[in-house]
């Protein structure tokens, strides 16, 4: 029995050590990718947020900007991403942070540490104590979660064609299907309601929004809240409580906002859900945005038809 237990323990130790080694290697590779990305960053303005900013702003058309937004990115991940990127990076002077009203809706609060697969992509850039918290949070699916971390960490470190998932990038979606009343209604229902009940305000999203504001203040970086264009029909359906809360946040921190949610009215420039722009819409909007931040446009919105 003793020999059996000894050998079994040794075997398990070998497996665990190998896993830890592999994990450390992946972690190191991800940090190297981040380090090289930071070295190559030559913009002074960051565009951060989720899929709204990702699909609406093509940073190749906007001078001095780097789009670091990623689909499905909650503020918790934006915060840790900015924490890493702004560390020893003095070139960045402004951040446009995407804000869509549903960002503070609790509809995704069932997993306040991010959806399973998305959170795994950010795992390597998290501080140690956060890593432990994330692992503890996913303990019921521990093995699949660790597997997902290793898999996504490996993809982040080895995919040479595009930036790693945790850094984000602008994304053009060539979609010709335009929004309809039903598709917009479905979208609004999924983002602001659970069943027929209105969602509450997400405390975790607010907490990390607070942290982003504090981070920018501590680094003397100008934080501007950005509302990307949304379909008029979608906008009319946003519950008032979320609009009011947004104003409260702005007032609380005296934040500047650029509300371009009314800018685009043409159905052909939207994706079917009504709250994302398609590739054509992104080109129109990015050109406008470039001119706007370059001071070429006078105040007021450009009507795009």
Partner 1 sequence: MLFNSLEYFLFLPLVFALYWFVFYKSLRIQNLCLLLASYFFYGWWSYKFLGLLIVGTLLNFTYGSFVGDSNKKRAKRFLIAGVLSNLLILGLFKYYNFFAFEFQHAAVVLGFKTNPVFLQMALPIGISFYTFHGMSYVFDIYYGKQKPVSNIVDYGVFVAFFPLLVAGPIERAHHLLPQVQKPRSFKYESAVQGCRLILWGLFKKVVIADSLAPSINNVFYTYLHLNGVSLILGAIAFAFQIYGDFSGYSDIALGTSKLFGFEVLSNFKFPYFSRDIAEFWRRWHVSLSSWFKDYLYIPLGGSKRSKAITIRNTFIIFIVSGFWHGASWSFIIWGTIHAFAFLPLLLFNKNRTHTNNVVANNNHFPSLKEVIQMLSTFLIVTIAWIFFRMNDLKQSLLYIRQIISSFYKQPQNLFSYVSELNIFYYVIPFILIDWYLRKDERQLKVPANSIFRWSMYVTMVMMILYHLGGNHSFIYFQF
Which residues form the interface with partner 1 (CB under 8 A)?
Answer: 1, 3-4, 7-8, 11, 14-15, 18-19, 141-144, 146-148, 150-151
Within 13 A of 13's CA, how many CA atoms are on the CB side? 6
Q: Which is nearer to partner 1, 149 or 271 (CB)?
A: 149
Q: How far is residue 126's CA from residue 129's CA, in Å, rounded to a whole number?
A: 8
CB of 99 to partner 1, least distance (A): 34
Cβ-in-10-Å burial (0-12, 13-18, 19+) of 20 comes to exposed
- Cβ-in-10-Å burial (0-12, 13-18, 19+) of 197 comes to exposed
**Within 13 Å, how many C-alpha atoms sit on residue 205's CB side?**
26
CB of 11 to partner 1, least distance (A): 7
Nearer Cβ to partner 1 (37/154): 154
- Assigned token pair, 108: 């995704």
First to last CA, the chain: 80
Q: How far is the CB of 15 from partner 1 (least distance, A)?
A: 5
What would the two tokens of residue 223 be?
């934080």
Q: How far is the CB of 18 from partner 1 (least distance, A)?
A: 6
Q: Which is nearer to partner 1, 35 or 116 (CB)?
A: 116
- Of the pair 9, 207, the CB lying nearest partner 1 is at 9
- Name which of 66 and 124 has its Cβ closer to partner 1: 124
| Residues 76/114, Cβ–Cβ less than 8 Å | yes
Cβ 97 to partner 1, closest distance in Å? 34
């Amino acid at each position: 029995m003793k020999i059996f237990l000894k050998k079994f323990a040794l075997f398990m130790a070998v497996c665990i050590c190998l896993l830890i080694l592999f994990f450390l290697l992946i972690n190191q590779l991800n940090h190297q990718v981040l380090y090289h990305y930071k070295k190559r960053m030559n913009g002074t303005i960051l565009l951060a947020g989720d899929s709204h900013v990702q699909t609406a702003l093509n940073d190749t058309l906007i001078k001095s900007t780097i789009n670091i937004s990623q689909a499905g990115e909650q503020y918790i991940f934006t915060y840790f991403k900015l924490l890493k990127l702004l560390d020893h990076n003095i070139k960045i002077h402004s951040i446009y942070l995407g804000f869509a009203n549903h960002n503070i809706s609790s509809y995704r609060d069932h997993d306040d540490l991010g959806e399973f697969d998305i959170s795994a992509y950010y795992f390597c850039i998290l501080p140690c104590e956060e890593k432990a918290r994330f692992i503890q949070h996913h303990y019921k699916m521990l093995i699949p979660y660790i597997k997902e971390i290793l898999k996504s960490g490996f993809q982040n470190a080895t995919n040479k064609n595009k930036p790693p998932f945790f850094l984000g990038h602008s994304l053009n979606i060539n979609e010709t299907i335009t929004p309809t009343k039903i598709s917009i209604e479905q979208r609004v229902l999924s983002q602001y309601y659970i069943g027929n009940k209105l969602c509450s305000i997400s405390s975790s999203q607010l907490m990390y929004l607070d942290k982003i504001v504090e981070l920018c203040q501590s680094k003397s970086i100008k934080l501007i809240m950005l509302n990307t264009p949304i379909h008029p029909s979608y906008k009319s359906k946003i519950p008032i409580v979320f609009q009011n809360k947004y104003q409260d946040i702005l007032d609380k921190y005296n934040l500047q906002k650029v509300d371009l949610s009314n800018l685009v009215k043409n159905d052909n420039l939207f994706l079917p859900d009504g709250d994302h722009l398609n590739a054509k819409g992104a080109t129109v909007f990015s050109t406008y945005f470039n001119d706007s931040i370059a001071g070429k446009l006078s105040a007021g919105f450009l009507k795009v038809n």
